[in-house]
């Protein structure tokens, strides 16, 4: 099912954005090539299973299909069929997409292999882009980049227009990328799409540089002094509550080592580290705790847990993870006024 490249994918601030522009963005950042390779790999893995006499049947597809439909809120059959019809897709398209995914999961991690996508994908790339959710993700990223240009202009900074050579290079890359079907569009339109995505990429980089100033990053990190803390703890899991309670008593009252107590009681013990935002419920319980303090027993899915805090590190801008998270938050703040109410999504994504 070829994509309607000239069809409006979404409207940003009253201006229509074609699906072809989204494909150019995917080619520019290398994600179209990733899509093609993963599609080829899935087809190859599926063929390998079939050559070995292994079939992936309906029973194998049922769990991933339920998960796929739940993710898109398509549990009702009527909604499911309507969603497919709007995109000119079939139940068979979904089945093939899921069969490839299951085949890859069974094969485990794989390395890139030299396979000709043009011979293997047979026009399946566009359906894969929709069914995998990539087309929607690319569209959302493109909308954010258009908002970035607006935010940059609001700061009285103009993005740089790409050179003719850069535009022609991207057009060439897009035309030679397997499965895009961009060759049917006019050269003028292709250059227009290429120039737009290159200008948006420059706008994104300039806006990132503008917001990622050290004072702003420091203020952002300081505002998250609780949820961005780095916590290190030891945790032990027990099958029974009474065993966990007795183990907690040994640790609290007798100063016993949690790992040794867990080993004696057939529990499972290990060391864990995470930022507060990664474990919000546990972080709230450890909020007033000091190193060596024990929390629990707490009921969890597979038993009862004891947690002993080992270390707490205040957030620091020198931490690359927190620095990146701060820049991301600053970007979100800069984009918000230029995204809210300005994007109208179309159903075929």
Round to whole Å and give the CA distance between 112 and 80: 34
Do 120 and 44 contact (CB within 8 A), yes or no?
yes
Summary count for the chain: helices (H), strands (E):
15, 7
* pLDDT score of 32: 94
Tens-digit pLDDT profile for residues 54-73: 888 889 999 999 999 999 99
Do 303 and 239 contact (CB within 8 A), yes or no?
yes
Residue-range domain boundaries for the chain: 8-210, 230-313
Round to whole Å and give the CA distance between 151 and 336: 9
Q: How do 303-313 and 294-300 pair as beta strands?
A: antiparallel
**pTM, full prediction:** 0.81
Place of tokens 């009681």: 265
Q: Mean pLDDT: which of 49-53, 317-321, 338-342 is highest?
A: 317-321
Q: Does 297 sit behind a cis peptide bond, omega within 30 degrees of 0 on the bond before it?
A: yes
- DSSP code, position 240: S
Q: How far is CA 15 from CA 1, 146, 342, in A?
A: 26, 11, 10
* pLDDT score of 329: 94
Taking each helix axis as running N to C, give the angle between helix 320-339 and helix 134-154, from 0 to 180 degrees, rounded to the nearest 10: 80
Q: Looking at domain 230-313, which CATH architecture does it have? A: Roll (3.10)
- Least reliable range by pLDDT among 35-49, 117-131, 269-283: 117-131
Round to whole Å and give the CA distance between 55 and 256: 54
* pLDDT score of 112: 47
Three-state DSSP class for residue 273: strand
Q: How far is CA 332 from CA 283, 310, 337, in A?
A: 25, 34, 9
Do 19 and 34 contact (CB within 8 A), yes or no?
no
| Phi, psi (deg, nearest 5) at residue 231 | -110, 140
Of residues 66, 183, 72, the one with CA closest to residue 130: 72
Dihedral (Cα; 135, 138, 139, 143), 10-degree rounding: 180
Tens-digit pLDDT profile for residues 276-318: 899 888 888 887 788 888 888 888 888 888 889 988 889 999 9
Tens-digit pLDDT profile for residues 236-277: 888 888 888 888 888 888 888 888 888 888 888 889 899 989
Write b or e for each residue in 94-126: b if 16 or more Cβ atoms lie within 10 A of its Cβ, otherwise e.
bebbbbbbbbbeeeeeeeeeeeebeebbeebbb
Q: Is 218 exposed, middle or buried (0-12, 13-18, 19+ CB in 10 A)?
A: middle
Do 269 and 258 contact (CB within 8 A), yes or no?
yes
Question: What mean pLDDT comes out for the span 39-66?
Answer: 89
Q: Is 253 exposed, middle or buried (0-12, 13-18, 19+ CB in 10 A)?
A: exposed
């Amino acid at each position: 099912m070829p994509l309607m490249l000239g069809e409006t994918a979404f409207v940003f601030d009253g201006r229509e954005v074609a699906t072809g522009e989204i494909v150019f963005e995917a080619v520019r950042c290398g994600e179209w090539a990733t899509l093609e390779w993963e599609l080829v790999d899935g087809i190859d893995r599926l063929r390998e299973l079939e050559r070995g006499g292994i079939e992936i049947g309906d029973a194998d597809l049922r769990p991933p299909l339920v998960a796929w439909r739940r993710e898109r809120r398509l549990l009702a059959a009527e909604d499911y069929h309507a969603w497919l019809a709007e995109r000119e897709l079939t139940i068979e398209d979904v089945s093939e997409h899921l069969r490839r995914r299951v085949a890859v999961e069974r094969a485990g991690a794989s390395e890139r292999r030299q396979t000709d996508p043009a011979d293997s994908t047979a026009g399946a790339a566009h359906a894969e882009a929709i069914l995998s959710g990539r087309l929607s993700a690319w569209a959302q990223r493109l909308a954010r980049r258009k908002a970035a240009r607006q935010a940059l202009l609001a700061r009285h900074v103009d993005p740089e227009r790409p050179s003719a050579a850069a535009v022609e290079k991207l057009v060439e890359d897009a035309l030679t990328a397997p499965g895009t079907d961009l060759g049917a569009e006019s050269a003028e339109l292709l250059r227009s799409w290429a120039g737009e995505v290159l200008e948006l990429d420059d706008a994104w980089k300039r806006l990132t540089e503008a917001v990622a100033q050290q004072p702003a990053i420091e203020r952002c990190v300081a505002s998250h002094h609780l949820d961005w803390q780095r916590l290190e703890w030891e945790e032990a899991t027990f099958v029974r509550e009474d065993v966990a309670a007795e183990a907690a008593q040994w640790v609290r009252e007798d100063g016993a080592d949690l790992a040794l107590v867990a080993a004696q009681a057939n529990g499972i013990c290990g060391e864990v580290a995470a930022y507060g935002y990664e474990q919000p419920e546990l972080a709230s319980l450890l909020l007033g705790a000091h190193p060596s303090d024990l929390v629990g027993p707490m009921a969890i899915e597979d038993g009862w847990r004891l947690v002993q805090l080992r270390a707490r590190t205040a957030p620091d801008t020198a931490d690359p993870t927190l620095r990146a998270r701060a820049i991301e938050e600053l970007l979100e703040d800069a984009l918000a006024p230029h995204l809210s109410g300005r994007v109208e999504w179309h159903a075929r994504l």
